[in-house]
Structure 1
């Protein structure tokens, strides 16, 4: 009995030596976060130096994720206003220009999250265009403005983004061949039928925003799958935490925020919860690899 116990303990000790725990593996991560304001966290305290023009928060989900996984090295180059062209060229902000985001990648990078595309199709402007202080028949619906020659122009722009995202993943791989790459989707910005007048977007427009954002996120998921990279869904977990919900519950602020955040952007609570989702995704993939 004693001999069997000694043999068992020796085997366990050898297994622990040969198979370090997941946390130890995660600590070796060299993590780079790419993206726009949905990742940067504009107006969520506190702004990060340098690159103040990017309105990058020290409580955004990339930074919280880096802390949660114990990343050995972390570079957050997310920047408010960024689109896919800013991955490759300098981005001009109100407080100066910043380098191309892909410059943050290296041969040693092991983890990349990329949260981009919303500004390519004018996501925030699209939502703000649908604000309507007066309901019909005085106010006008906005969804008709996005139909030309029988086509939904928002969906046309969304589909036009597909090849750029495919190329972006290829370019990330070229610069960071060791990296696990995750494309991150956008959150829930409107519940079914909206909540007029709390958020002054009428029912038809709220449903249009909801449908088009679901289409956009589906496109991101499809492009990620086609490129062989991970996709992190923020839309599903943020259901019930949209701008129509009360302060303390919502993760996305409405047009007039009650918590420090840009309109129709994540607040600090949202960033904490998104970090939980992203951390689970990247550590789960690490355990499977």
Structure 2
């Protein structure tokens, strides 16, 4: 995903503080799978959008600068935990990336990112892929729902809007769920991309990384931090879950492994307290793009990836 106006899921559309995380790299299981040892030799290629790249999380040193790639995003943390050498790790994730950007160059506000799959070859042993949010326009959805929610907040004095979902009405008008249609289209594109990854890197283990919980189960907790009508919070959360479900189904059908970051991020959404949240609200209190993972969130996602790799 890429930051709200530019970096996608940018919004939008991985319990406790996991800064120390479970030290996945120090598994007490003496029977570590052979594939883990093979993966730890690399090369490892990280693909994805801004939820992978980590916009505004320092240090931001990669090129092109427009990809907003952090040296402490989850791919970097995974590579470090696996003990990979710098030469055996390539992070080509980029803010704003969509599935087509995996196979074609992506123009950013500051430079062009080569087609992400060009980083793969027959030597690649590990691939992580976090993408899909920008394909369904989750960023613009959240922006529009925030605007609609603000108007409804002004009306709270005269009416109870707890169950109102004006944004949902917009996206499901005429009996057609426009978001569900986009998720289906993205699913077909993802299958083709996963097949291409397999073709280019036939020896690699591929992990499709889902999106962490962005919104709470109850919209009444968001308040000014993310002024979305409570009913629309429920709607957007359900759509995110539908997106993650699609990612999991398509990953398994293509022989890849799905990484669930939604479950471990429960209670760490953008509306949770600043000290524990993984996702920042409209006005971030930690270095991160709005409605994107902060460093705590990237660490949580790294832990989920490493746990799945080790399983």
Deviations 1:207-240 (A, max 9, x none): 0011111111111111111111100011111000
Deviations along 1:174-229, one digit per CA (max 9) or x if unpaired, are 11010000111111111122224242112101000111111111111111111111
Contact 1:23 1:70 in 2 (8 A): no
Instruction: Within 5 Å, give how 1:130-279 maps onto structure 2.
Output: 130-131=145-146, 132-135=149-152, 138=155, 141-194=166-219, 195-198=221-224, 199-279=226-306
In 2, are the aligned partners of 1:41 and 1:55 still within 8 Å (CA)? Answer: yes
User: 5+ residue gaps in structure 2?
Assistant: 1-29, 157-164
Q: Does 1:99 align with 2:107?
A: no
Higher-Rg member (1/2): 1
TM-score by structure 2 length?
0.81
Contact 2:270 2:291 in 1 (8 A): yes
1:75 corresponds, among 82, 90, 96, to 90
CA 276–133 in structure 1, closer or farther in 2 if over 3 Å, else same: same
Q: TM-score of the superposition, structure 1-length normalised?
A: 0.87
- The 2-side partners of 1:121 and 1:21 are apart by 37
Give the match's secondary structure for 2:208. strand
**Aligned partners of 1:66 and 1:236: how far apart in 2?**
23
CA deviation map 1:98-153 (0-9, x unaligned): 11000000110000001111111111221121112233574882111101330110
Q: What SS does the aligned partner of 1:130 have?
A: helix
Q: CA–CA distance in 2 between the matches of 1:20 and 1:266?
A: 30
* Alignment partner, residue 44 of structure 1: 57
Matched, 1:65 2:78: yes
User: Between Structure 1 and Structure 2, how many residues are aligned?
Assistant: 267
Give CA deviations for 1:40-87 in whole Å, capped at 9, x if unaligned: 000111102321110000000001001101124000000000001111
Question: Mean Cα displacement is larger for which, 264-273 or 186-195?
Answer: 186-195
